[in-house]
Amino acid sequence: AEAARAAMGGSASLLPRDALREYQELTFLSKQEILLAYKRFSELLPKEERKNACSTRVPKSQILTLPELRANPFQHQICRVFSTSEARDDSMSFEDFLDMLSVFSDSATLDIKSHYAFRIFDFDQDGILDRNDLEKLVNCLTGQGEESRLNSTEMEQLIRNILEESDIDKDGTINLSEFQHVISRCPDFARYSLIC
């Protein structure tokens, strides 16, 4: 424990032991991963606020500086999904941050990963992936440049193919259970997922 505290720059002393135990029970993260997360989260705050990291929110602009999110095409969606901010500014508390890291960890179940992937891909937050969500999803994946963007015919064909494969009840949308069914047939989803 002393070595862990030293390695974490003393951050363990700022994270109450009972909170650490609770975070271990509620996430897919180990004690070491939680301590490292606390250190990383604290470093996103101005120096004078670091001692209150457990009760301080980090602005979205700072969260987006993390290497894992900087180049992620879904960075804004990820912040929206994991933020519990009442102001809806996508800022994150330490617990929001831990939830995000927990879902992205190798230890998270496929069920959990696919649930959050669905929420991230549901751009309009209506509980289904419709044509608009799928188009935005494809655009995120192919990039916004003119040379990489699909033309309307290609986009329509791709969306038709996606719905043909995934829309089990043939209502023109993909709901969570349909999405999870498709993901369950992709054994590499958890390993290669764009959100993880």
- pLDDT single digits (tens) 26-40: 999 999 999 999 999
Q: Mean pLDDT across the stretch 5-16?
A: 55
Please give the residue that has the higher pLDDT: either 195 or 165.
165
Question: pLDDT-derived band of residue 21, with 50, 70 and 90 as boundaries?
Answer: very high
What does the chain look like in DSSP terms, one character per residue?
Answer: -HHHHHHTTTGGGGS-HHHHHHHHHHSS--HHHHHHHHHHHHHTS-GGGGGGGGG-PBPHHHHTTSHHHHT-TTHHHHHHHH---TT-S--B-HHHHHHHHHHHSTTS-HHHHHHHHHHHH-TT-SSSB-HHHHHHHHHHHH-SSTTTSPPHHHHHHHHHHHHHHH-TT-SSSB-HHHHHHHHHT-TTHHHH-TT-
pLDDT tens-digit map of 143-190: 766 777 889 999 999 999 999 999 999 999 999 999 999 998 886 765
What is the set of domains in the chain, with CATH numbers?
17-104 (1.10.238.10), 110-193 (1.10.238.10)
User: 144 vs 125, which has greater pLDDT?
Assistant: 125
